[in-house]
Amino acid sequence: MSYLGQVELKSSEIRRIDVTGSTSATHTLTWTPASEQSLIITINGIKQQNNYSISGTTLTLDDALLSADEMEVIGILDIGEAVVPPDDSITNAMVKSDAAIAQSKLATLAIDTAELADDAVTAAKLANSINTEIAANTAKVTNATHTGDVTGATALTIAADAVDIAMLSATGTASATTFLRGDNAWAAAGGNNTPAFHANVSGYPSSWSAGTWTLVPFDVETFDTDSDFDLTADRFTPTTAGKYYVYGQVTGSANSGNLTQTGVRLEKNGVVQVKNQEEFRAGSLSADVEYKFVAAIIDMNGSSDYLECWGLVNAASGTYVLSGYTTNVFFGAFRLL
| Mean of pLDDT over the chain | 79
How many angstroms separate the CA atoms of 72 and 16, rounded?
A: 7
pLDDT in tens, 193-218: 899 999 998 876 666 677 788 899 99
92 and 50 in contact (C-beta within 8 Å)?
Answer: no
Residue 248 has pLDDT above 90, yes or no: yes
Residue 190: per-residue pLDDT:
62
How many angstroms separate the CA atoms of 311 and 214, rounded?
A: 5
**Cα maximum dimension of the chain:** 165
Residues in a beta bridge with 308: 267
Distant-in-sequence, close-in-space partners of 267: CB < 8 Å, separation ≥ 6 = 273, 307, 308, 309, 310
pLDDT in tens, 257-266: 677 778 899 9
260 and 314 in contact (C-beta within 8 Å)?
Answer: yes
Buried/exposed 146-168: b ≥16 CB within 10 Å, e otherwise: eeeeeeeeeeeeeeeeeeeeeee
